[in-house]
Amino acid sequence: MDGELKELIKQNLELSKETNELLRKMRSTQRWGRIFRAFYWLIIIGLSLGVFYYLQGPLEQLIGTYQGLVSGVDKVQKTASSLPDSQTINSLLQKFQQ
């Protein structure tokens, strides 16, 4: 019985060592996963900021052009609203014809 108990303890020790090794590998893999995930997000954020910085000038020009277009359309609408309507023009033409 004493030999059998030693054998069981030896097997238990081997299994414990194997389990410990697997847990260490899992922890290491998890650590590397976190590092790569942080690196991944840093790259995405950095590229986004870089693209924004690179496109900032053309975007500002595009916005300025759009604002100029909108103000031009507003001016045209104000001018169109200040023009006389067709009834006024017809009455003026009738006065000139008489």
Nearest Cα to Cα of residue 41 among 53, 33, 30: 33
Q: What range defines the domain where residue 15 resides? A: 2-97
User: How far is residue 84's CA from residue 69's CA, in Å, rounded to a whole number?
Assistant: 25
pLDDT of residue 18 exceeding 70, the answer is yes
Which tokens hold the place of 60? 């500002």
Q: What confidence score (pLDDT) does residue 80 get? A: 67
**Collapsing DSSP states into helix, strand and coil, what is residue 25?**
helix
Q: How many domains does the chain have?
A: 1
Question: For the segment 41-95, what is each residue's pLDDT rounded down to a tens digit?
Answer: 999 999 999 998 999 988 899 999 999 888 888 887 777 677 666 677 777 777 7
